[in-house]
């Protein structure tokens, strides 16, 4: 009887924390609200279907990914590279506080698994929690964050892609804007969710110049200028054409080759992130190399 008398208050306290407050983030308690693994995204419920937030929606959520070296967003990943994932949320009610969950997975449906790793260096008052029973690591708040200004919510984290190609990777995020009260349901809370698919760029496409062509491009991937080098080239005029991935020519230039080894510098500062096909042509003969712009 004494054990029961002690146990009931402890369980009651745990239930209050688990079902009435997500101040530490749902994943801390083993709850995935991102939408990955076919989970729900509404922040009003927890394991028991109750929670400290209302079921309201209306917060817009945007995910962008860039390489860190440039703020140009990308929808691709190169195995082993590190990227910055940025979460941006807004709502017209200008609610003061917010929390979020972000997961990165490969696969489909309930069978999705962890893809890549979040940095161990993360913003203050945030955590990367191992979400018990899911196999996922979820980036979330360690305490409610204050929007700056109210109604605008921003947070970013570094993430490293898997070392090998795992196919498409999907980023899932739910962001909940709240009135700032704790321990009670508010109909004013406004959540929203989104997802973003990253497609792989394999090492075969990054290092696509083969020895017999005598053509190479470096650095590749590129953020600014890259150099094209022709080895064992015959003298004469060569035409360089750059094609984007829908086949449109974005630039054309000629170079004069006078030596067996010749190089040309290409400026990519105005290119959008993505894959480009660089084609060298002389006397009807063509050679090409794929270049990744970050």
- pLDDT (average), residues 43-67: 72
Total Cβ atoms within 10 A of residue 264: 19
- For residues 43 and 141, the answer to whether their CB atoms sit within 8 Å is no
3-state secondary structure of 205: helix
Bigger pLDDT: 9 vs 156 = 156
pLDDT band of 253, cuts 50, 70, 90: confident
pTM higher than 0.85: no
- For residues 186 and 178, the answer to whether their CB atoms sit within 8 Å is yes
* Buried b or exposed e, range 168-191, using 16+ CB within 10 angstroms: ebbbbbbbbbbbeeeeeeeeebbb
Are 83 and 125 in a shared domain?
A: yes
Number of domains into which the chain is organized: 2
Are 130 and 181 in a shared domain?
A: yes
Bigger pLDDT: 88 vs 181 = 88
Query: For the chain, where are the alpha helices, taking DSSP H only?
Result: 2-20, 203-206
| pLDDT > 70: percent of the chain | 77
For 98-154, what is each residue's pLDDT tens digit?
999 999 999 999 999 999 999 988 998 899 999 999 999 999 998 889 998 999 999
Could you tell me if residue 10 is inside a domain?
no
Residue 16: per-residue pLDDT: 32
Which residue's entry shows tokens 């990744």?
292
Residue 9: per-residue pLDDT: 38
CA distances (Å), 1 to each of 70, 77, 106, in order? 64, 59, 50
CA gap 141, 211 in Å, rounded: 50
Q: Which has the closest alpha carbon to 150: 63, 191, 90, 61?
A: 90
What is the extent of the structural domain holding 101?
22-200
Question: Considering 141, 169, 200, which residue would you say is the last residue of a domain?
Answer: 200
Are 87 and 112 in a shared domain?
A: yes
Give the distance, in angstroms, between the CA of residue 209 and the centroid of all CA atoms in the same chain. 28
177: CB partners within 8 A, 6+ apart = 59, 89, 91, 93, 95, 97, 98, 147, 151, 153, 189, 190, 191
Are 183 and 44 in a shared domain?
A: yes
For 176-192, what is each residue's pLDDT tens digit?
998 875 555 677 788 99
Are 112 and 171 in a shared domain?
A: yes
For 153-182, what is each residue's pLDDT tens digit?
999 999 999 988 899 999 999 999 988 755
Give the CATH number, domain containing residue 125.
2.60.40.4060
CA gap 267, 255 in Å, rounded: 15
- pLDDT (average), residues 28-50: 77
Are 34 and 134 in a shared domain?
A: yes
Question: Considering 132, 166, 200, which residue would you say is the last residue of a domain?
Answer: 200
Q: Which of 19-28, 133-142, 252-261, 267-276 has the highest mean pLDDT?
A: 133-142
Residue 246: per-residue pLDDT: 66
Give the CATH number, domain containing residue 285.
2.60.40.3080
């Amino acid at each position: 009887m004494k054990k029961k008398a002690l146990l009931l208050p402890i369980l009651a306290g745990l239930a209050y924390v688990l079902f009435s407050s997500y101040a530490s983030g749902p994943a801390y308690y083993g709850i995935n609200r991102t939408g990955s693994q076919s989970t729900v995204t509404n922040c009003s419920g927890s394991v028991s279907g109750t929670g400290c937030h209302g079921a309201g929606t209306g917060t817009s959520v945007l995910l962008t990914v860039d390489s860190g070296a440039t703020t140009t967003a990308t929808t691709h990943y190169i195995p082993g590279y590190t990227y910055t994932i940025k979460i941006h949320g807004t709502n017209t009610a200008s609610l003061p506080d917010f929390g979020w969950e972000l997961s990165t997975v490969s696969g489909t449906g309930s069978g999705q698994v962890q893809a890549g790793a979040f940095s161990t260096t993360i913003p203050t008052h945030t955590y990367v929690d191992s979400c018990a029973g899911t196999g996922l690591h979820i980036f979330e708040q360690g305490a409610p964050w204050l929007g700056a200004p109210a109604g605008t919510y921003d947070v970013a984290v570094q993430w490293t892609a898997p070392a090998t190609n795992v196919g498409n990777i999907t980023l899932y995020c739910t962001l909940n804007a709240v009135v700032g009260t704790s321990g009670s349901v508010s109909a004013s809370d406004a959540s929203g969710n989104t997802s973003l698919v990253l497609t792989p760029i394999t090492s075969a496409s990054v290092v696509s110049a083969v020895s017999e062509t005598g053509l190479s491009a470096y650095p590749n991937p590129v953020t600014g200028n890259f150099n094209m080098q022709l080895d064992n080239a015959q003298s004469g005029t060569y035409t360089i054409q750059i094609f984007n991935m829908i086949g449109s020519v974005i630039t054309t230039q000629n170079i004069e080759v006078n030596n067996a080894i010749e190089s040309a510098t290409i400026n990519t500062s105005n290119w959008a992130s993505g894959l480009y096909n660089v084609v060298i042509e002389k006397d009807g003969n063509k050679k090409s190399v794929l270049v990744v712009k970050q």
